[in-house]
A and B are shown apart, each in its own frame.
Chain A
Amino acid sequence: MLAYISRRLAVSLLILLTVSFAVYVIFAFLPFDPAALTCGKNCNDPGIIEANRRRLGYDLPFFTQYFIFLKGLFFGRSFGEGAALINCPAPSLGYSFQQHACVTSLIGEALPVTFSLAIGAIFMWLALGIGLGILAARFRGRIVDRLSTVFVLIGTSLPTFLTGLLLLVFVVIRWKLIPFPSGNYTPFLENPFEWGQILFLPWLTLAFAYAALYTRFVRSSVIDTSNEDYIRTARAKGLSEGVILGKHTLRAALAPIATMAGLDFAGLLGGAILTESVFNLPGLGRLAISAVVKYDLPIIVATTLLAAFIVVIMNLIVDILYAYIDPRVRVA
């Protein structure tokens, strides 16, 4: 198992290196001059542009730039000198001249927001999706199953920005069930209640779409597993239907859910762009989208890399977890 994990880790590192290079290449060859972008819209002074170019290292050859970038990840990096010296400690992902901040600290502010959003949503959709999926499978063809089909249809066809807006309009404005979210994200440690209150609707919005997918998946997985020979064996042993479902069917039926949930979670951590935009949450998705709009290249590179990093790491975690769930994939 240890050999397996270390081998996977090595491969993951290689993938990350490749991704970082690919991302860097793409942005290096975009038809924008990053130095020109640093000094705002109406800036035509070649002196300032050239000074910024030197300060941010854009005058160096491509490979040198890439290696400085990689080095910065591990040892930190400073820009400029003298009074204008800016120091971004490791792991440095560069400096955003437009926001006048180290990219790492910008991400450090946005990541907890996105994480809070993702973690709450995943709990909601797992509870809803798995619960409803099991019910639908158990009472196949009956009213619960029919209703779940309707839910799946609506959930998978409504785009999140629409769900989010509908929730805002009805739950908050029409029915006044919860107060209007203030728009200012409150960290969990500061005020857990406010944290939950602000994130509740975004959670619901995200969970709605995912729960529909999961309901459909769990339903068919449970039905498929119920038809397995080993479930018939369990029944022939004289086990009760409850034990058969809870212990024998679900263990096998829900194993693939671990993989699915891990990857979906990773995807969300990369930034839930639409949901964050609708609810005005200062998360990674919003950071990335505003960077794209403003051609803030260091942030675009950093958020892309981070998303890739999260996906690779979650993949690793999911694979290791799966080996624990399913003994057949365990490596001796």
Chain B
Amino acid sequence: MTLLKVENLSVDFPTPDGLVSAVHETSFEISAGETLAIVGESGSGKTVTNLALMGLIPPRTANVSGSAMFESHDGPIDLISMERNELRKYRGRDIAMIFQDPMSSLHPFYTIGDQIIEAHQIHNKVDLKVSKARAIELLELVGIQGADTRMKAFPHQFSGGMRQRVMIAMALVNNPLLLIADEPTTALDVTVQAQIIKLLADLQQEFKMAMILITHDMGVVAGAADRVNVMYAGRIVESANVRDLYANPLMPYTQGLLASVPRMDRPHKNRLSAIPGQPPSMIALPTGCSFNPRCTRKSEVDGSKCETQMPDLTSRGNGHLSRCFIGEGA
């Protein structure tokens, strides 16, 4: 069953230097219980896509267009066109989000218990005791020892990994259908990263929820995702299920990303490979394919097509989509 169907989502920020098209006509789907990873460099539009879905882009700062049909508990709703105040009912209940930096994402002045209870109370007309019990239950579930007493602790009394667990507990307190995790491990120690990813995967099974995992860590993607969208300069450039993507990356950018992952199973006398150049300025995107100035395989395409024409995102069979002239129509 399709849980979320995003069609032609665009987010444009008017700036003094011109219109910044942070997300450009993006379409994708996610089924119930599925994990979709969105990968790409900083500024590729991963976070903005999801802030748009949550209705968290500050009003009047951006033009958001397109649609995002979501199967909520109350039936289908369009997350994009819905009135902000209306959308609030679903935020934190049907769709929850956890953020990159757990150090700053919790309010420093309130106990974690208060903050989790608040998240439960806003969407459930129940006694405070019920919410409290629910909060303790969730804290235990995310692996916080002595949840009872830790309820009264303040965020600064927790380590980064523990705070992210608290954030996860808070996000899951209302049994969301979809969890958006925006680089949940980026700010954490490497040892803790694996724990958090495993925790998220376990909880996803338990809560039977879908997850959008935003990351630029290809290792995390391989371990946790069902499907992967690769974004570059505001557009999806490749989309495939995770096995296909790793076995057969089609777009040169994805190939570059995968090649830049350090591997234990290869001889490491060579230097790590990197994609040459830098992500383009979002104000002055290159004409043609946004990736063309950095692409090492341009010569395989006839003439100067890459520099003049934006390739479409086309199917390469088996649900594998690629935005590249190479292999198109083959």
- Which A residues fall within an 8 A CB radius of B? 228-230, 232-240, 248, 251-252, 255, 325-328
Instruction: State whether A230 touches B170 (Cβ < 8 A).
Output: no
Residues of A within 8 A of B156 (CB): 327-328
**B23 at interface, CB cutoff 8 A:** no
Q: Are the CB atoms of B105 and A238 closer together than 8 Å?
A: no
Q: Which residues of B contact A236 (CB under 8 A)?
A: 54, 56, 91-92, 96-97, 99
CA distance A232 to B104 in the complex (A): 10
Q: What residues on B are CB-neighbors of A325 within 8 Å?
A: 109
List CB contacts (< 8 Å) of B56-103 with chain A.
Answer: 56, 85, 88-93, 96-97, 99, 101
Q: In angstroms, how far is the closest chain B Cβ from the Cβ of A221? A: 14
Bound-state Cα–Cα, A327 to B111, Å: 9
Additional 9 contacts, C-beta under 8 A, given A236-B56, A237-B118: A235-B56, A236-B97, A237-B119, A237-B170, A251-B110, A327-B109, A327-B154, A328-B108, A328-B156
- Are A233 and B106 touching (Cβ within 8 A)? yes
| B→A interface (CB under 8 Å) | 54, 56, 85, 88-93, 96-97, 99, 101, 104-110, 118-119, 122-123, 154, 156, 167, 170
Please measure, in the bound complex, the distance between the C-alpha atom of A191 and the C-alpha atom of B170, giving whole angstroms: 56
Residues of B within 8 A of A248 (CB): 107
Q: Report chain A residues within 8 Å CB of B99.
A: 229, 232-233, 236
**CB-based nearest A residue for B120:** A237
List chain A residues, Cβ under 8 A from B93.
Answer: 238
Report which residue of A234, A251, A252, A325 has the largest number of chain B beta carbons within 10 angstroms of its beta carbon: A234
Q: A235-B56, A237-B122, A238-B91 are in contact. Are A326 and B107 (CB under 8 A)?
A: no
Q: How far is the CA of A228 from the CA of B99 in the complex (A)?
A: 12
Chain A: interface secondary structure?
A: helix
**Cα separation A248 to B156 with both chains bound (whole Å):** 17
Which residues on A sit within 8 Å (CB–CB) of B101?
229
User: Could you tell me if B118 and A251 are in contact, using CB atoms closer than 8 angstroms?
Assistant: no
Contact A233 B107 (CB under 8 A): yes
Cβ-closest chain A residue relative to B54: A236
Q: Indicate whether A239 sits within 8 Å of B122 (C-beta atoms), given known contacts A232-B99, A327-B154.
A: yes
Instruction: Tell me the minimal C-beta distance from B185 to chain A in angstroms.
Output: 16
- State whether B92 touches A252 (Cβ < 8 A): no
Nearest Cβ in chain B — how far from A253, in angstroms?
11
Q: Are B88 and A238 in contact, with the CB atoms below 8 A?
A: yes
Chain A residues positioned under 8 Å from B167 (CB to CB)? 233
Q: What residues of B have a CB within 8 angstroms of the CB of A239 in the complex?
A: 88, 92, 118, 122
State the 6 A-B residue pairs at the shortest beta-carbon distance, nearest first: A238-B92, A238-B91, A229-B104, A237-B92, A230-B107, A327-B154
- A325 CB → nearest B CB, Å: 7
Residue pair B89, A232 in contact (C-beta under 8 Å)? no
How distant is the Cα of A251 from the Cα of B91 in the complex, in angstroms? 23
